[in-house]
Structure 1
Amino acid sequence: MSQMVCLGILAGMSVTDLLYRKVSGELLAAAGIGAVIFQICYGKCNVWILGGGIAVGLCFLGISRLTGEGIGYGDSIMILLLGIYLGIWKLLIVLSGAFFLLALAAVVLLSYYSIRGKGMAQGTVGMKKISRKYVLPFYPFLTCGYILYLVSWK
């Protein structure tokens, strides 16, 4: 049951991230409170596994700070919350799936727009400029990584 709640929260935040390119602090705070309450009431995680998940989330917050939000703060906070909820090993499985799908989507987008752009005039209407600096929202990939974890590791 709690896995479906987590999936619902991630899906809702994915839609918010896609539509507005931002996730509200209130949603993140509610998810954080839920993750902490879950660990207090139902947590069967070893303290070291839980601490490792928190450490991974804190590392992502540090990366967000150092890269000037190359990975957004909201994404990093959600990774921290997933670390509290899942622990380090399950979090790493989710992140592996998310980053794999993100890389796949980036390759597909870059390939599509580079093929589509050849032979067309630069001023063509509807032509999007996609480069290595194009930003993809991360929440949908985090949600898909969590779904892959639920399907394959349970």
Structure 2
Amino acid sequence: MYKIVHICLIIILGVICVFDIKRKKIPVYMLIILAAAGIISNFTVGEFDIEKRIIAMLPGMILLIVSMITKQQIGYGDGMIILIMGLYIDIDDILSIVLSSFFVSSIAAIILMTVFKKKKNFEMAFSPFLLIGYGLVKGVYFICG
């Protein structure tokens, strides 16, 4: 059941990425589906530790605050995705995923600015990098055991 939850998370994140890339906006109903699936999985997979879930949701809460302060330089949707991912995975994985995502997005931004001559203030969808970060972190865990 645990693997099914992660496969569903990957699929939903993939669909969100398509919307984010095409429209630079994440539909609220997709976030609701992601959150509902996370809540349901917590009650069906096994033990539900609310304290662990709240701690895992902290990075998303912090990004939502940063989003408000910076007038959405980081979108609310990205903060919401990270917040909701806390329903699925633990804080150490969340932090690894977010850091991996920032790292990969930084490399992509450098390439876009140097090779494709994009300006510093161009906008990039971040959810694809969250999906890549998720794949990297879970892939490393899968390979390394």
Question: Same fold judged by TM-score > 0.5?
Answer: yes
In structure 1, C-alpha distance between the alignment counterparts of 2:51 and 2:140, rounded to whole Å: 24
Matched-pair contact (CA < 8 Å) for 1:23–1:74? yes
Return the match for 1:16 from 16, 19, 29: 19
Aligned length: 139
Q: Which runs of 5+ in 1 are unaligned?
A: 115-129
Match for 1:149 among 131, 137, 144? 137
Q: 1:50 to 1:65 in 2, by over 3 A?
A: same
Instruction: Please report the RMSD computed on the Cα atoms of aligned residues, expressed in angstroms.
Output: 1.5
Cα gap change, 1:43 to 1:139, in 2 (>3 Å):
farther
Aligned: 1:91 with 2:94? yes
Residue matched to 2:121: 133
Deviation of the 1:51 alpha carbon? 2.0
1:102 to 98, 102, 105: 105
For 1:112, which of 94, 115, 120 is the aligned residue?
A: 115
1:80-102 Cα shifts (integer Å, max 9, x gaps)? 00112112111111111111100
Please list every run of 5 or more consecutive structure 2 residues that lacks an aligned counterpart in the other structure. Answer: none
Alignment of 1:26-37 (within 5 A): 26-37=29-40
TM-score (norm 1): 0.84
Moved more, 47-56 or 103-112: 47-56
- Cα distance, 1:109 vs. partner? 0.9
Higher Cα Rg, which structure: 1
**Superposition TM-score, scaled by structure 2 size:** 0.89
For residue 113 of structure 1, give the secondary structure of its aligned residue in structure 2: coil
